C-alpha cells in the first residue's frame, strides 16, 4: 500500500521555522535591564543563562547572548537580538546591545 505524500502549507513551514529560531534564544531581552555594573559572572548567569560565546583577553572577558525580542518587535527573520556583557577582573564593566550606537 502506497502512503500519501506529506504536503506542508507555506504557513506551517513559516511557523516551524520561526519556532526553530525562537528555540535558539529563550531568554527575553528585558533581562538585560537586570544586569548592573559590578555583578559577578554567577549573578549575570542566573539572570541571562549560558552565553552563546565568550571572548577572553588578559583580565577582560566578554560574553555574548541571543535574547528574544518582545512579541511585537519580532518578524520571522528576526526574533532575537545580540547583547554583550563585558567583565574586568571578574566584575561587570559594560553591557548592552551589540551594534547599538554608544550613548553619550
pLDDT of 78-95, one tens digit each?
778 899 999 999 999 999
Residue 18 CA to residue 87 CA, distance in Å, equals 33
Global pTM value:
0.65
pLDDT of 3-43, one tens digit each?
666 566 665 445 454 444 444 457 887 889 999 999 999 99
Number of other residues whose CB lies within 10 A of the CB of residue 44: 23
pLDDT of res. 104: 44
- Tell whether the model's pLDDT for residue 103 goes beyond 70: no
pLDDT of res. 6: 58
DSSP β-bridge partners for residue 82? 66
Do residues 43 and 96 make contact, with C-beta atoms less than 8 angstroms apart? no
Residue 103 CA to residue 91 CA, distance in Å, equals 21
The grid coordinates listed for 39 are 555583578
Q: What CATH class has 26-97?
A: alpha beta
Amino acid at each position: 500500500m502506497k502512503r500519501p505524500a506529506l504536503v506542508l502549507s507555506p504557513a506551517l513551514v513559516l511557523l516551524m521555522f520561526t519556532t526553530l529560531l525562537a528555540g535558539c534564544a529563550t531568554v527575553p531581552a528585558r533581562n538585560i535591564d537586570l544586569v548592573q555594573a559590578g555583578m559577578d559572572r554567577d549573578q549575570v548567569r542566573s539572570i541571562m543563562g549560558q552565553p552563546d560565546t565568550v571572548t577572553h583577553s588578559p583580565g577582560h572577558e566578554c560574553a555574548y547572548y541571543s535574547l528574544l525580542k518582545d512579541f511585537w518587535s519580532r518578524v520571522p527573520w528576526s526574533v532575537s537580538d545580540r547583547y554583550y556583557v563585558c567583565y574586568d577582573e571578574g566584575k561587570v564593566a559594560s553591557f548592552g546591545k551589540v551594534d547599538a550606537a554608544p550613548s553619550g
